[in-house]
Amino acid sequence: MKRRDFSLAATSLGLLPFAPVALAQGRPPKAGGEYLVLGKPAPVDTPAGKVELVEFFSYNCPHCAAFEPRLQAWVKQLPQQVVFKRVPVPFVGNDTETKQRLYYALEAMGKVEDFQLAIFRAIHTDRQKLFGDEAVLAWAEKQQGLDGKKFAEMFKSFSVAGKAKRATQITEAYKVGGVPALGVAGRWYVDGDTAGSLERALQVADFLIAEARKG
């Protein structure tokens, strides 16, 4: 979902997650076309010898919701040297900081993988009005396997607020134009628009990960 037009349908954005893309035989992805090279490297938090892979997303984004199952399957097949991280972006909707803190509260509790798909379903399938702090806290109280009191403490904590601010800085460093999108090693950026589809974006990311592993 693009920054400046959050109401367009997936088809008009060219971001259908599973649209096939014809691949030229033997042709590597094109820099400046299928992916972008950052003029200034983005900050990375992984140790030497590891490749940092970032998914930029928003819980408010229907394309991110559709992409999530495919992303999860792809991440499971990544090389061990890859460190996968999610970054909730500061755009898409009017409660972006709330959604950023929702994610980082779950991360602090080790509950992201338990609830990532559930949140997308709640918003985009069940049409729950998960908007604003009070709605998020009420949702958390109802979830089996989630300590609502502890969640509220983390959700309101300075550490989570700091991570939300950091997420905004990383989003700007990568110059993210829409979500879902992928950043690789602080050096490269790819999304459904640059690659032609989100399925192709994953293939481009595989190529970039291999490049990063070369050093």
**Rounded-to-integer distance, Cα 51 and Cα 172, Å:** 20
State the residue for tokens 């640059």.
Answer: 194
Average pLDDT over residues 126-130: 96
**Rounded-to-integer distance, Cα 201 and Cα 196, Å:** 7
Dump pLDDT digits (tens) for 192-203: 999 999 999 999
Specify the CATH number of the domain 27-213. Answer: 3.40.30.10
Helices (H), ranges, the chain: 10-13, 62-75, 96-108, 112-124, 133-142, 148-155, 158-173, 192-195, 198-213
Residue pair 89/179 in contact by the 8 Å Cβ criterion: yes
Task: Name the least confident of 6-10, 33-37, 164-168.
Answer: 6-10
**Rounded-to-integer distance, Cα 169 and Cα 213, Å:** 25
Task: Name the least confident of 4-8, 50-54, 90-94, 150-154.
Answer: 4-8
Dump pLDDT digits (tens) for 37-84: 999 999 999 998 999 999 999 999 999 999 999 999 999 999 999 999
Nearest to 17 by CA among 213, 212, 210, 201: 201
- Longest CA–CA separation in the chain, Å: 55
Q: What is the pLDDT of residue 215?
A: 78
Domain ranges, ordered by start, for the chain: 27-213
Contacts 24+ apart (CB under 8 A), 4-7: 6/60, 6/91, 6/92, 6/93
